[in-house]
Structure 1
């Protein structure tokens, strides 16, 4: 039986791209019985019931390498996190939470700084914040027509989810990357500086250069989950070379003396704003832990 990848699921129908084209499929009842819902990105085995009309059934879902809940998509291997220098201003707390989640799930990340024509100086501020993290960074402007070639190279051969605040221009970037206007784009509200939610469901869009991209609805909030506070440090790449070298075992890198992370902070090796947000996240997770076991 042929196999393929689900590129879209809507209204109980799943569109599976195979070597012979895209098939409109339904899932067998066995999946509903096992409470296993096919997701975009799933590799599946299908049976064809009408070759001419490209219709069939999903017979088997191959084991997932990974799965995201929001958006509901499987087997991605890269996330492009989009921020804009203005309209709206970056939500660094949201960005750092997403980066922690990316690290937790062992997915590659790219930080896309959009609308750089609006404030070149602030673009550099954002770069300075993340330059020591090891994440890829690309600066983009449709007005200046810069950054798209570099981004395209980063996307080749990967399945990449685009995520970020509402209104940062994810769909506009994707339209340029795909070289076709396949998605609607919304205007940012001048009053509240949030984009309209023009993306309603996850869909894999194929790149001419190989690979897929996935647009997502804009985030207005995002909370860390399934992370113990003492493990949070492991998801900050710039902490990596200092972990385990502090004076005290189990150092939280907040108030303990002889902390190598804090020494690196004072030496300018770690960005202070990132570090301050780490403290906020740590305390929030610690409070959750206390409530859980109280």
Structure 2
């Protein structure tokens, strides 16, 4: 059998990158019986059916290090969470959802702010950097127009399997095209009427980079659910809480209504972003109510 990695999946066909090139494969029926769906990023073993036409069958799927649900990608090392500084206006609640889900998978997280050339005085960039850098995240402002920090994004990608995540219209595909001129990804314009992006990426796909590593270009999303996260678990994914997690109620404290809560005191003292804390409370309530957002 030949080792490889799934780099694309469309309509039940999986494209496996191996040392001998790309093979188009179907998965054995046993996976369906076991309710296992192959994912882009899976490390697999295939049997060759037709060497000339590069066709095969997926026989084994290795254990996954990480697994994202939306986008459906396995074995990712790092998440680049991409939001525009303007057009569309950044939805911080949605950004925090992406962060929570990436934290749940223990991914290295970098926040990328696109279209910063539209922020002429730099106030919006500075505000978001203050919120998320104090929370413990690396924030990189970029501009395709001025080429600002494109080199820094390449450094983040080098040697890693990286997922580009974020809503439609923020310029993920445009940024990838700027990073690697060999890409010919379809890009779309943001509707002037509704200020939302068109879904220009139709499927998840791993793309090899000239600068090293692989990147997943994935469809944009308008919302994310936290169905698999428990109420008591959410605080673990707001990493800035860790430093102040010495409350009177110890590990049972969920930093909401408990007296003498060190996290709430840190918020009042400006050591934790009030906007991040408000987002935490909002997500906490959504988990309790079992809401599904689509």
TM-score range with shorter-chain normalisation? over 0.9
Matched, 1:197 2:199: yes
- Are the counterparts in 1 of residues 70 and 224 from structure 2 also a CA contact under 8 Å? no
Matched, 1:54 2:49: no
TM-score by length of 1: 0.93
CA deviation after TM superposition for structure 1 residue 232, in Å: 1.5
1:226 corresponds to which residue?
228
| Structure 2 residue corresponding to 1:183, chosen from 182, 185, 195 | 185
In the alignment, structure 2 segments of 5+ residues that lack a partner are: none
1:4 corresponds to which residue?
4
1:69 corresponds to which residue?
69
CA deviation after TM superposition for structure 1 residue 279, in Å: 1.5
For residues 150 and 24 of structure 1, the distance between their equivalents in structure 2, rounded to whole angstroms, comes to 34
CA deviation after TM superposition for structure 1 residue 254, in Å: 2.3
CA deviation after TM superposition for structure 1 residue 110, in Å: 1.0
Alignment of 1:52-201 (within 5 A): 52-119=52-119, 120-201=122-203
Q: Name the SS of the counterpart of 2:244 in structure 1.
A: coil
Moved more, 153-162 or 184-193: 153-162
In the alignment, structure 1 segments of 5+ residues that lack a partner are: 290-294
1:254 corresponds to which residue?
256
- Are the counterparts in 2 of residues 114 and 140 from structure 1 also a CA contact under 8 Å? yes
- Are the counterparts in 2 of residues 14 and 25 from structure 1 also a CA contact under 8 Å? yes
Q: Name the SS of the counterpart of 1:195 in structure 2.
A: coil
- Are the counterparts in 1 of residues 47 and 59 from structure 2 also a CA contact under 8 Å? yes
For residues 207 and 49 of structure 1, the distance between their equivalents in structure 2, rounded to whole angstroms, comes to 29
| Structure 1 residue corresponding to 2:243, chosen from 241, 244, 260 | 241
Moved more, 277-286 or 112-121: 277-286
**Relative to structure 1, is the Cα distance of residues 73 and 269 closer, same or farther in structure 2, using a 3 angstrom cutoff?**
same
- Are the counterparts in 1 of residues 227 and 290 from structure 2 also a CA contact under 8 Å? no
Q: Report Cα offsets for 1:90-110 as digits up to 9, x if no partner.
A: 010000011111111211111
CA deviation after TM superposition for structure 1 residue 286, in Å: 2.8
Instruction: Give the paired residue count.
Output: 288
Structure 1: 4+ residue segments shifted above 6 A: none
For residues 221 and 157 of structure 2, the distance between their equivalents in structure 1, rounded to whole angstroms, comes to 22
CA deviation after TM superposition for structure 1 residue 181, in Å: 3.4
- Are the counterparts in 2 of residues 91 and 165 from structure 1 also a CA contact under 8 Å? no
For residues 290 and 37 of structure 2, the distance between their equivalents in structure 1, rounded to whole angstroms, comes to 30
2:209 corresponds to which residue?
207
1:282 corresponds to which residue?
284
For residues 247 and 38 of structure 1, the distance between their equivalents in structure 2, rounded to whole angstroms, comes to 46
For residues 278 and 19 of structure 2, the distance between their equivalents in structure 1, rounded to whole angstroms, comes to 50
Q: Name the SS of the counterpart of 1:229 in structure 2.
A: coil
CA deviation after TM superposition for structure 1 residue 133, in Å: 2.2
TM-score by length of 2: 0.93
CA deviation after TM superposition for structure 1 residue 248, in Å: 2.9
- Are the counterparts in 1 of residues 135 and 273 from structure 2 also a CA contact under 8 Å? no
For residues 161 and 11 of structure 2, the distance between their equivalents in structure 1, rounded to whole angstroms, comes to 23
Q: CA RMSD in A?
A: 1.5
- Are the counterparts in 2 of residues 79 and 161 from structure 1 also a CA contact under 8 Å? yes
For residues 249 and 45 of structure 2, the distance between their equivalents in structure 1, rounded to whole angstroms, comes to 53
